Amino acid sequence: MKEEFKKFVQKHPNLIDYVNNKKMTWQQFYEMYDLYGENNSIWNNFENNNSSKETSSIGLITAIKEFLGLFKGIDLNTVQKTLTSLDKAIEAFKGFNNNENVSNNYEERPKYKYFED
């Protein structure tokens, strides 16, 4: 009888979620299996797997809390000062590139002409 129950559980892995979430025990499932058998409609109640939906929503809430926790220790004044410094540095680099005093006297040589031929 135990081997048949093990095969039944393998066919219905949703039962594992109920045991892991402590909503049912293996003893309770085994007694139901013993009383009602494998093909009773009582097992349809466990096929919907509401417990996995609850678990996934709890996991999502936990992930959101962890994500928001990342921002807890951030000092906005420090971020603002850093961004201002970066903005000034970028403007300085732009000033180096826009230097109009440098003249470009480079003339491209024709392709098949070597050393002033």
Give me the phi and psi of 3, to 5 degrees please: -65, -40
Host domain of residue 61: 2-70
Does some domain include residue 12?
yes
Does some domain include residue 66?
yes
The answer to which of 26-30, 57-61, 65-69, 98-102 has the lowest mean pLDDT is 98-102
- 7: Cα separation from own chain's centroid: 34
Confidence of residue 51 (pLDDT cuts 50, 70, 90): very low
Confidence of residue 55 (pLDDT cuts 50, 70, 90): low
pLDDT value for 17: 85
Does some domain include residue 96?
no
Does some domain include residue 43?
yes
Whose structure tokens read 């040589």?
109
Give the type of residue at 60: L
pTM: 0.40
Count of structural domains, the chain: 1
Contact 51, 18 (CB under 8 A): yes
